[in-house]
Structure 1
Amino acid sequence: MQNILVFLLVFGIIVVVHEFGHFYFAKRAGILVREFSIGFGPKIFFHRKGETTYTIRLLPVGGYVRMAGYEEEADLRAGMPVTLMLNDKQVVEKIDIQNKHQSVDSLPLEVTSFDLEDELFISGRVDGVDEIETYTVSETALLIEKDGTMLQIAPRKRQFQSASLPNRMLTNFAGPLNNFILAIVAFMLLGFMQGGVPSSEPLIGEVQPDAPAAEAGLETGDRILSIEGNEISSWMDMVGVIEQSPDTALDFEVKKTNGTVTEMTITPQADENSDAGKVGIGQTMDDSLSSKIAYGFVQPWSIVMQIFTILGSFLTGGFSLDQLGGPVAIYATTQTVVRAGAIGVISWIGFLSVNLGIMNLLPIPALDGGKLLLNIIEGIRKKPISEEKEGLITLVGVGFLLVLMLAVTWNDIQTFFLN
């Protein structure tokens, strides 16, 4: 249960922060945000504030911001029975598609035609009378969907497509941007919680007892100058040489804490799981204020570079589904993260947030990156792509993502539960 709760918490934080980016910039651009949802599927709770309905839905993996202009007006159709609520001026304030509850001041109507974008009217037959009545609809009228969710109608001027191109691009980019900001905050917080951050210098921190490093005489505070005659300028340089040399004697040049330089031979042991060489040492911690703040930027950038390396393997032919992970892999890894406590959870939030930000910026239709690409094309052409073509492009993107997600999920199930 603890693993499930942490998984939902981590995923929920990342999704809410991502969607809030879209939400904030959409509102700032004057776009009507009809719904802010956490989760998918059937609604289990909703609260309306201002012109936005906030919902929690049954499936807690994901979420969305429902901006006007991305969908039709719910399920309103000609021939449908609805209930209208009018104000004192006989202007429609609510259109209830449920058509379940009728009060004294409500009006049953069989819809014949409507326009909730430009002319703002709804026409139909009242109580089966043949004569058709037409009613003006308020710009802020509410549409009550079949599941009871109340959404504000969207006049065309409040729709996404009516916003300026720069504002639409900012709205599309804001989700990934918020993920990067969350990662920066998470890793910066991590630096302070740990009391420092791992130093990039080739300095020896903790030395494990009975490990090759301890047997050779390495001590905390020693600096590695060279290995096999090759200069070592960073911790990663040293780790790279050691990991590539399991069961191989290596000549180290070491500067001791008292300033003397000595040579020693160390043979890395092969790790049981990865076969990489290990000598049993840890990094020193840099506890300066500047390093803790810088960690918020350095660590996300390091993750970005790792992701680009994986994406580059698409082009080089070295790609494997094992390099990707979906919700199943995230949940399985969360079990390990929970054992590391708060530090592990915060680090996991930062790592996943960077991944979500980068993956959403890929130029794939249906993703934020695909939408940005269409925005750029529109800017070059000086006119938007037709709704039909954009819909087809998005459909292809959704199909690709669905196939990829199914493949990744099945691979994750095999890796974590069937092997």
Structure 2
Amino acid sequence: MIENILAFLLVFGIIVVVHEFGHFYFAKRAGILVREFAIGFGPKLFHHRKGETTYTIRMLPVGGYVRMAGYEEEADLRPGMAVKVTLDKADKVEKIDIQGTNESVDTVPIEVSSFDLEEEMYLTGRVGTDTEEKTFQVNRDALLVEKDGTILQVAPKDRQFQSASLLQRMLTNFAGPLNNFILAILAFTLLAFVQGGVSSNDSLIGEITEDTPAAESNLETGDRVLSIGGEDVESWNEMVMVIQENPGEELAFQMEDKSGNTYKESIVPMTFEQDGEDIGRIGIAAYMEDSVSAKLSYGFTNTVFIISQIFSLLASFFTGGFSVDQLGGPVAIYATTEAVVQAGAIGLISWLGFLSVNLGIMNLLPIPALDGGKLLLNIIEGIRGKPISQDKEGYITLIGALFLVILMLLVTWNDIQTFFLN
């Protein structure tokens, strides 16, 4: 169980970090202030500040987020709040401690009456026991200590998300899924090198198992199947289909060896039971292509293949009806991890690539609160020539978030029933 948990956290953690780094990188390039890079959700376990960004690890390791200035965030600072501020030599505020735990002699206790940390950059309030209010200028790079102790930088208006150009915001929103696709390509390319090649879909004979009909024939690794029973065979899948549909029946194979010579071979597939049905097998594996070009291209071709399969599944929701059984959440991912761990490094790398593609596609769905929903709002803004008001965008995002929460609860409960209660 410990191995399964560690494998789950490793794979899921890599996918999340890579996804969020996409948002982080393009936000930085656009001049957007990235206040926090978080792995996980919930209470903060650890934080480290470097440059303008605070990096945090939070308690629930099932996701993460990049906290960009002015992007779906609310300030903890409120009028009437008692805070402690640290001033520089020019009496400008360089730190605002909402947590109020800093007992240094350099801090000044203030009861806040008003503030503007976006444009005019000031903070007004009563100092200590004074009855009169005093206004302090706030540095553009002043720090804000939140209630949970997380240290963030204040966000002037020109460093906020909405101040970036429309193209920069679209790139920032798209960068997370893009990084997931890149990660999948790299994972499947690595997989091809680790396993020594990639399975060819050509009708070629691969490894032959001992004591099987294929081993007792003249078939050799690298030979090509031209036809079976007079029917042309053009791919590995077609060949497997014909063999499986004819258990115990003699099949006439038209073959071509590695020298280009043709020959015939009669083979009777063995009978195996699979899902209550008899299928035929002759004891051959798919041919492994071990060229460098085949290994490098596999990362792209397999990623594209999985994307096409996911889109086919999504299309079936509209043509064949939607079912929660067709979806899986973190519980399903964890439950599947046991089989992945048993497959070793090859299983983990393959699982990493597969999940990364899935996360990338799911995040591009045009659902508010997902990256795809945000991109849709960006497109609408481009068509209208002006952004949707922040209030309307907030309501749209809230609806999308509620939909996702309900969907996640349904999927999680369904996964629990499927993997643990049945």
Counterpart code for 2:255: K
Q: 5 Å matches for 1:355-394? A: 355-394=358-397
Cα distance change, pair 65–246 in 1 and its aligned pair in 2 (3 A): farther
- Worse overlay, 117-126 or 67-76: 67-76
Identify the match of residue 334 of structure 1 among 302, 322, 337: 337
- Residue 246 of structure 1: how far off its partner (Å): 6.3
Between Structure 1 and Structure 2, how many residues are aligned? Answer: 418
Measured after TM superposition, the shift of residue 191 of structure 1 is 1.3
Compute the displacement of 1:74 (Å): 3.1
* Aligned pairs for 1:1-400 within 5 A: 1-211=2-212, 213-214=214-215, 218-243=219-244, 245=245, 247=247, 249=249, 251-255=251-255, 257=257, 259-264=261-266, 266-267=268-269, 269-273=271-275, 275=277, 277-279=279-281, 280-400=283-403
* C-alpha distance in 2 between matches for 1:170 and 1:418: 43
State the distance in 2 between where 1:399 and 1:350 align: 29
Task: Look up the SS of the partner of 1:22 in the other structure.
Answer: helix
Q: Which secondary structure state, in structure 2, belongs to the residue aligned with residue 161 of structure 1?
A: helix
Q: Deviations over 1:325-374 (max 9, x none)?
A: 11111111111111111111111111111111111111111111111111
Q: Are the structure 2 counterparts of residues 134 and 344 from structure 1 closer, same or farther at C-alpha, using a change threshold of 3 Å?
A: same
Structure-1-length-normalised TM-score: 0.94
Alignment TM-score, normalising by the size of structure 2: 0.94
Offset of residue 157 of structure 1: 0.5
The farther-off stretch of 97-106 and 364-373 is 97-106
Instruction: Say whether the 8 Å CA contact 1:310–1:319 is kept in structure 2.
Output: no
Distance 1:370 1:269, change over 3 A: farther
Once residues 226 and 218 of structure 2 are traced to their aligned partners in structure 1, the CA distance between those partners, rounded to angstroms, is: 15
Residues 67 and 336 (structure 1 numbering): CA distance in 2 closer, same or farther, change over 3 Å?
same
Counterpart residue identity of residue 417, structure 1: F
Change in 2 beyond 3 A, CA 1:163/1:240: farther
Mapped to 2, the partners of 1:314 and 1:268 lie a distance apart of 38
Q: Does the 8 Å CA contact 1:73/1:153 hold for their aligned counterparts?
A: no
Counterpart CA distance in 1 for 2:73 and 2:123 is 15
Q: Secondary structure at the match of 1:236?
A: helix
Q: 1:11 Cα deviation (Å)? A: 0.6
* Cα distance, 1:333–1:275 mapped onto 2, change above 3 Å: farther
Q: Distance in 2 between matches of 1:85 and 1:195?
A: 60
In 1: Cα distance, 2:367 partner to 2:156 partner: 29
For 2:178 and 2:84, locate their aligned partners in 1 and report how far apart those are by CA, in whole Å: 42
Mapped to 2, the partners of 1:241 and 1:42 lie a distance apart of: 57
Q: Return the offset for 1:128.
A: 3.4
Q: Separation in 1 of the partners of 2:270 and 2:403?
A: 45
| Distance across 1 between alignment mates of 2:363 and 2:133 | 48
Structure 2, unaligned runs of 5 or more: none
**CA distance in structure 1 between the partners assigned to 2:390 and 2:248 by the alignment:** 63
Residues 233/407 of structure 1: CA separation in 2 closer, same or farther (3 Å cut):
same
| Conserved? CA contact 1:246–1:268, under 8 Å | no
Task: Answer yes or no: is the 8 Å Cα contact 1:74–1:145 preserved in 2.
Answer: no
Whether contact under 8 Å (1:199, 1:286) holds in the other structure is yes
Aligned identity (percent) is 67
CA RMSD of aligned residues (A): 2.0
Q: Is the 8 A contact 1:141 1:153 kept in 2?
A: yes
Separation in structure 2 between the aligned mates of residue 299 and residue 285 of structure 1, nearest angstrom: 15
Matches of 1:105 and 1:240, distance apart in 2: 78
How big is each residue's C-alpha offset from its partner over 1:118-157, in whole Å with a ceiling of 9 and x where there is no partner?
1111111112322111111111010000111000010111
Any idea what SS the aligned residue of 1:118 has? Answer: coil
- In 2, Cα distance between equivalents of 1:318 and 1:274: 27
Q: 3-state SS of the aligned residue for 1:48?
A: strand
Shift of 1:263: 4.7
Give 1:254's aligned amino acid.
Q
Moved more, 229-238 or 125-134: 229-238
**Cα deviation digits, residues 154-179 of structure 1 (max 9, x gap):** 01110001100000000000001111
Amino acid across the alignment from 1:264: S
Q: Is the 8 A contact 2:247 2:280 kept in 1?
A: no
Instruction: Rate the CA distance shift 1:199–1:276 in 2: closer, same or farther, 3 A.
Output: farther
What is the identity, as a one-letter code, of the residue corresponding to 1:358?
I
